[in-house]
A = this chain, B = another copy of it.
């Protein structure tokens, strides 16, 4: 086992939420961050997580964390339990990132197995939130700022949480002549990202495959853009299996939404 990389803040804070961008909420969090860390740079991941959809938030956060340099603080707020007793947690990953958000599973995919969550208890650094409904502005944002500015180290944030909420990891299942997994997300292009690691299928370009959804079978071809192929299957840019329609929307072709089960079989 490798020793975890220590956390040296680089001043960057990524921000993932379900706040949308029509209201002032995202800016209010930024203002709260800049009050504490005037030099912090905030990079939006997305604020279009469907309201209170922890699973989609966890997926986008996981992808974003992988792209940023060590020393980044990742703030994530999809928080249906705001105002209840759910804990606020800080986690340092094995790769030298820090995650800040509610203890509801949102951070768990990005955290990986070696991260130790700590419950935020440093009210001397960031006092308890003054609002009951906007902990992004009044708690999580300031905590992320304090970490990014080096005012507090991740291991000083509070007691370790032994029973953090963890989202079930999307499980791919081996089936007769293929693999089955759930739709993790449908992206802007209508591409369907399926929870089957791309290296399970190991499809050589041009291999014919079958995509099965709800009992219906769709003929497809492995590869990026195959002339005449209505449906293609390949490993996406984050290592999952993607089903796409070149120039069209695979989501509509398959009639799927996140959570649906998709089976991909060699023919």
A interface residue numbers (CB < 8 A to B): 10, 12, 14, 16, 18-32, 34-35, 38, 41-48, 51-52, 60-61, 63-64, 66-69, 72, 80, 82-84, 131-134, 137-138, 185, 187-189, 224-225, 234, 236-237, 242, 247
A183 to B255, CA, bound (A): 34
Nearest residue (CB) in B for A185 is: B23
A20 close to B188 (CB less than 8 A): yes
Which of B51, B60, B133, B188 meets A234, CB within 8 Å?
Answer: B133
20 A–B contacts from the bound complex (CB under 8 Å): A14-B27, A19-B188, A22-B46, A22-B48, A24-B46, A24-B64, A27-B44, A27-B67, A28-B66, A29-B67, A30-B67, A34-B43, A38-B69, A83-B224, A84-B224, A132-B224, A133-B234, A134-B236, A134-B237, A137-B237
Q: Is the CB of A237 within 8 A of B138?
A: yes
Q: For A12, give the chain B residue with the smallest CB separation.
A: B34
Q: Which B residue sits closest to A237, measured CB to CB?
A: B134
Q: How far is the CA of A138 from the CA of B52 in the complex (A)?
A: 31
Cβ contact within 8 Å between B68 and A242: no
In whole Å, how far is A80's beta carbon from the nearest beta carbon of chain B? 7
The residue in chain B whose Cβ has the minimal distance to the Cβ of A15 is B27
Question: In chain B, what residue has the closest Cβ to A131?
Answer: B237
**Which chain B residue shows the least CB distance to A188?**
B20
Interface centre among A26, A137, A185, A188 (most CB of B within 10 A): A188
Interface contacts beyond A21-B47, A24-B45, A32-B67: sample of 14 additional A-B pairs, CB < 8 Å, sorted by A: A12-B34, A14-B31, A21-B21, A25-B187, A28-B63, A28-B66, A31-B67, A31-B68, A35-B68, A42-B43, A67-B137, A80-B247, A132-B224, A132-B234
